[in-house]
Amino acid sequence: MESLIIKGGVPLHGEVTISGSKNAALPILAATLLTDEPCVIRRVPNLSDTRFMVKILQSLGATAQFEDGTLTVHAKKIRGYADYELVRQMRGSICIAGPLLARLRKARISLPGGCIIGARPINLHLKGFEALGAKIKIEGGYVDATAKRLAGAPIFLGGRAGPTVLGTANVMMMATLADGVTVIESAACEPEVMDLANFLNAMGAKISGAGSPTITIVGVEKLHGAEHEVIPDRIEAATFIIAAAATNGEVTLKGAREDHLHAVIDKLKEAGVSVERRGSNLLARRSGKLKPADITTLPYSGFPTDVQAQMMSLFVLTPGISIITERIFESRFMHVSELARLGADIEIEGPSAIVKGGRPLSGAPVMASDLRASAALVIAGMAAKGATQVNRIYHLDRGYENIDGKLRQLGARIQRVEEK
């Protein structure tokens, strides 16, 4: 396994190009299974997760060619049985089930894996499949689904922690080829859901309301090939904004979408961070002294859970007390103990973390527990005195394209090495 060695104390300066969104790309790649015609997807980030998805598509019989951020997929003839070892390693792979059911009326996939950040059951996916006419059986680690006929229906997808993003995507894809009209209530409103809907409509689907809690899908007989460009990754953009603020630097984010970051920018402003629109780019820097703030993670358009860990690293550097309340995943404070190794003072009380900030950080060996925790530890390491070694960065490579290379371009002293 690989690690990152970070020598902190260097402000970040310069420009960074924001990659395509991982969370948008994965269901869009799965949606290419809905047609027997070629699809061309641009700005696909080169990540371990997207490479896994390409392998899954190929294991189903599709051809896939990845070159310079453009992926061409042709699922002319496919099978409904996905490779167990591939699917179980990545939670996002569950989104192949909807397209397989829609096109083949059958799907057999293993129960998916992913970061250990709390319970993420697929019951809402299965609820949606059954509402459209599928019969589900779970046995031996597999989900077996079959359907003689798919018929549109009203479906409520609200869950304990709010709407399900991948569940909304899965049901929406399945409904495109169902007879009649499907109405998804309590649908996820994330930009990634809107991006998928735009791609499906380019394929000939009839979807309206994406981006709102009610999505209407009028089923069509057949979908065709299409071309599409994936939206910029709002979580990567937020991570670089926070990194600029944590190191007291100034970074221009090329291609970042301000309209996808309103909740993050609002809280950053409250915390003493300036994010300004400069043409098609965003300029991030401190606007003065860092100030404590409180955040609560919520479904979109609230503050994203995927930025919670990075904000904690910023609050660790901020004099005063900041409170972070996690309302989406109950096990998403695993980075707290690792930040403590660097000198952070954080207490956990139920779903909240009380951050007593302002103490100087010093480098130490730390271990990443999940994707966003990895980013938080990198940010803290860049702000700490001395050297920090972040181990198990395979988590980081799941969601950030060439993050160490991009940080070096901004002046960070960061090096990828083999763990000893």
Predicted pLDDT of residue 120 = 45
pLDDT category of residue 115 using cuts at 50, 70 and 90: very low
Predicted pLDDT of residue 113 = 54
Predicted pLDDT of residue 116 = 44
Provide the 8-state DSSP code for 299.
S
pLDDT of 117 > 50? The answer is: no
Share of the chain above pLDDT 90, in %: 88
In this prediction, residues 91-99 reach a mean pLDDT of 88
pLDDT category of residue 181 using cuts at 50, 70 and 90: very high
Q: Where in the chain is the domain with CATH 3.65.10.10?
A: 2-19+232-418, 22-229
Provide the 8-state DSSP code for 319.
S
CA distances from residue 251 to 100, 307, 349 in whole angstroms, order as listed: 43, 18, 35
Catalytic residues: 115
Q: Report the CATH number of the 2-19+232-418 domain.
A: 3.65.10.10
Neighbours of 110 (CB within 10 A): 19
- The CA distance from 366 to 41, in Å, is 37
Task: Please name the residue that has the structure tokens 């409509």.
Answer: 201
The DSSP H or E segment spanning 52 is helix 48-59
- Tell me the fold of 22-229: UDP-n-acetylglucosamine1-carboxyvinyl-transferase; Chain (3.65.10)
Angle, alpha carbons 381-387-388 (nearest 5°): 45
In this prediction, residues 23-30 reach a mean pLDDT of 97
Predicted pLDDT of residue 386 = 97
The DSSP H or E segment spanning 398 is none
- The CA distance from 160 to 167, in Å, is 13
* DSSP-derived 3-state class of residue 192: helix
pLDDT of 359 > 60? The answer is: yes
- Cα R_g (the chain), whole angstroms: 21
Of the candidates 298, 247, 242, 293, the residue with the CA atom closest to the CA atom of residue 267? 293
pLDDT of 259 > 90? The answer is: yes
Predicted pLDDT of residue 171 = 97
Share of the chain above pLDDT 70, in %: 97
Q: Are 223 and 255 in contact (CB under 8 A)?
A: no
Q: Using one digit for the tens of pLDDT, what is the confidence trace for 46-78?
A: 999 999 999 999 999 999 999 999 999 999 999
The structure's pTM equals 0.95
Query: Max CA-CA distance within the chain?
Result: 63
Q: Using one digit for the tens of pLDDT, what is the confidence trace for 309-343?
A: 999 999 999 999 999 999 998 778 999 999 999 99
pLDDT of 282 > 80? The answer is: yes
Which residues neighbour 24 within 8 Å (Cβ) at sequence distance 6 or greater?
A: 191, 192, 195, 196, 230, 231, 233
